[in-house]
Structure 1
Amino acid sequence: MTCVTPNTLEVTPSSLRGQLARWPTGVAIITANGTARPLGKTVNSFHAASLEPALVGWCIDRKSSRFDEWITTSGYAVHVMAGHQTDLISRFATSGTDRFDGLETAPGLDGIPLLTHEVPLRLECRVANRFDVGDHVYLIGEVVTMTAADHVPMTLQR
């Protein structure tokens, strides 16, 4: 058996981000109602929080554009993305643009804009709780509606 000696690293935002990128994670697009126009964002912080009740969560950075709208929204939709949907993933990851410009959506739970693309999993949620967590806010949503398709979800890992 080979013995590996780990290196102790200084914990900085940059070093932590680099090391956490080694952990496989999924990619999702979150959509919600905004005050004047829809909200949409690519995230990799989405995860299950509880099975009973059905709760999921994700985190939004306080420096994120439209942060004030995100943290006051009453609900959101999670679109778990497939590997062939990189165009949508990039669109919703790009700052300073209208991410919904020319994109077809359909109204979901409470009018939340849903992407009309077939995705591996879509969860429509009502916000059940919000927590301050350092430089982010953690949004917990109760899953109200769930739809699934036979696509393999995308994962990222460096």
Structure 2
Amino acid sequence: MLREQLARWPTGVAVVTATGRDGRPIGKTVNSFHATSLAPPLVGWCIDHRSSQVDDWLAAPGYVVHVVAAHQGPLMRHFATPSADRFAGVAWQPGLDGMPVLDEPVALRLECRAAHRFAAGDHTYLVGEVVILTAADAVPLCLQR
């Protein structure tokens, strides 16, 4: 019941990318992304302990948050769909510390270094310090059921 009721709350959507332990890019769609602190500049998101790549995410030295624009539903769905290689057919470039930065322009891009990790029930809360911020004049995608 909690999941169904919380799904009624409008939420922004982001695609988070990082480099896995094997050096290959990893990515996923999240709706748990949010600002944590302005000084220092921190943002956070949560990952389910059951995620197939949870160990890669927990070992990553940082990550890139791509806040998708309102017209980028296909990009959001692509990274939300289980796949052995979510980067197949997706253009990207290495950014901060070699982390994958998607070529497709998004509403907001935050390149972050891992700052804190906290256990939170069946998830881990990942907090990153924003090192590079790139903003576009685009309306972010917001989901509501």
TM exceeding 0.5: yes
5 Å-filtered alignment, 1:37-116, equals 37-116=24-103
Is 1:25 equivalent to 2:11 in the alignment?
yes
- How many residue pairs end up in the alignment? 144
Distance 1:110 1:117 in 2: 19
Identity across aligned pairs (percent)? 63
Correspondence for 2:114: 127
SS at match of 1:84: coil
TM-score (structure 2 length as normaliser): 0.97
The aligned amino acid for 1:122 is: R
| Alignment equivalent of 1:34, drawn from 8, 20, 31 | 20
Larger radius of gyration: 1
- Offset of 1:96 from its aligned partner? 2.9
Gaps (5+ residues) in structure 2? none
Q: 2 CA distance for matches of 1:109 and 1:35? A: 16
How far did residue 40 of structure 1 move?
0.1
SS at match of 1:83: coil
Q: CA deviation at 1:21?
A: 1.0
State TM-score, norm by structure 1: 0.89
Deviations 1:10-54 (A, max 9, x none): xxxxx1111111111100000001122211000000000001110
* Structure having the larger proportion of residues in strand: 2
- Asked whether the 8 Å contact 1:77–1:112 carries over to 2, the reply is yes
Contact 2:64–2:110 (CA<8 Å) still a contact in 1?
Answer: yes
